[in-house]
Amino acid sequence: MKIYEAITAGIHHIQQNRLRAGLSILGIFIGITSVLCMIAIGDGAKKSSPITSKTSADQTIFNS
């Protein structure tokens, strides 16, 4: 199968199954967005954790 035939067959199948193609695109979009959000949350946690540990270390009471 040549590249041109593969592309035309793919476009033809997408046109026949519009709902399926739309839901697949929506799923990919949601997946990418969730990964980016998790990366942003992780970066924010890395930046705020030294500040939190410094403030909590100042308020720590040791019982001996």
Distances (CA, A) of 6 to 11, 12, 14, 22: 9, 10, 12, 20
The 10s digit of each residue's pLDDT in 3-45 is 999 999 989 988 999 999 999 999 999 999 999 999 999 988 8
Predicted structure pTM score: 0.57
Q: What is the pLDDT of residue 48?
A: 73
Per-residue model confidence (pLDDT) at position 49:
65
